[in-house]
Amino acid sequence: MTLGSVEVRIALERLPGLRLAPGNAVQYVPNVLHRGPRRLRVEWNPA
């Protein structure tokens, strides 16, 4: 399990209304060492 996946899992546990925005096409930054999104659009509906 990578550090990034652990961070996302913790964020989703602490912010249950957080989700990816619909219709969002994720574009990745070209990188030799790792792959990460240019931007990650999310929506949050606080309870």
HSE-up (13 A, CA, CB side) for residue 33: 0
Examine the pLDDT at 47 and tell me if it is beyond 80: no
pLDDT of residue 13: 87
**pTM for the full predicted model:** 0.53
Domain that holds residue 23: 3-44
Indicate the number of domains in the chain. 1
pLDDT score for 7: 87
pLDDT score recorded for residue 31: 84
Task: Give tens-digit pLDDT for 3-45.
Answer: 888 888 888 888 888 888 898 888 888 888 877 888 888 898 8
DSSP string, 17-42: TEEEPTT----EEP-SS--EES---E
* Radius of gyration of the chain from its Cα atoms, rounded to whole angstroms: 12
